[in-house]
Amino acid sequence: MASYKRRAAGFSLVEVLVSIVILSLGLLGAMGMLMTSVRSTSESGSFTAAVSLARELSEKARINKNVAARNPAVFSSATNPYLVELKGTDADPVAPKGCVGLTGDCGPSDIAAWDIHDWTIRVRETLPEAHVVVCFDDVMVGADDNYAWNCEGEGRTLVVKMGWIPRMGSEKEMQDDRPPRVVMQLVPGHDYDASEAI
């Protein structure tokens, strides 16, 4: 009877090892869920920031739509500072003359150059490895039913296409050939006659 009491009083080494394995599996599962949550939060923040930046550029372009709607492919004499493509570490657009304050003597094209320069700097600061294209594109969806980076250029609709590499993405998400994540129309198509293409 005394030997039975001694065996029942403690845990065996096998029981302790099984408990440690089960606890370890639970902790690994919890860590995986925590990492997924942190990655989702980070990506959600980047997506929200990208949509906000695209909306801001849309408002700037619509305020200055006589410049934003000029398509150099339609009118060879037209210039459009809003047309830009930036990828990764490309240089920002050339800094325009200052259009701030009482001494800022700027026309519509100067204001557009100022807008796009200031905007692209903030995109770079906000989105990791940002890829941005502002172009004329009436057909934004490619043959595979995904948004495409290339633009037809002949259209009348000014769009912004934005992508970035997630800070904590998977190996597939870290690839640079992904389609745009945010595509937004800036200025709807509009016909201008040659006299308006300044």
pLDDT in tens, 37-81: 777 777 778 888 899 999 999 999 888 888 888 877 776 666 888
Residue 8 has φ and ψ, to the nearest 5°, of -80, -10
d(CA 195, CA 198): 7
What is the pTM (predicted TM-score) of this model? 0.71
d(CA 37, CA 33): 6
> What ranges make up the beta strands (E) of 12-157?
84-87, 131-136
Average pLDDT over residues 77-106: 72
Quickly count: other Cβ atoms within 10 Å of residue 184's Cβ: 17
d(CA 164, CA 151): 18
Describe the crossing of helices 108-126 and 13-63 by its angle, rounded to 10 degrees.
180
Average pLDDT over residues 75-99: 73
Pairing of strands 131-136, 84-87: antiparallel
Residue 111 has φ and ψ, to the nearest 5°, of -65, -40
Given pLDDT bands bounded at 50, 70 and 90, which one contains residue 178? confident
Question: What SS3 state is found at 136?
Answer: strand
d(CA 132, CA 84): 8
Mean pLDDT (the chain, rounded):
78
Least confident of 9-13, 183-187, 190-194: 190-194
Quote the pLDDT of residue 37.
Answer: 78
- Using a CB cutoff of 8 Å and minimum separation of 24, what contacts does 93-100 make? 93/117, 93/120
Cβ atoms 190, 69 nearer than 8 A: yes
Cβ atoms 140, 159 nearer than 8 A: yes
Buried b (16+ CB within 10 A) or exposed e, 165-174: bbeebeeeee
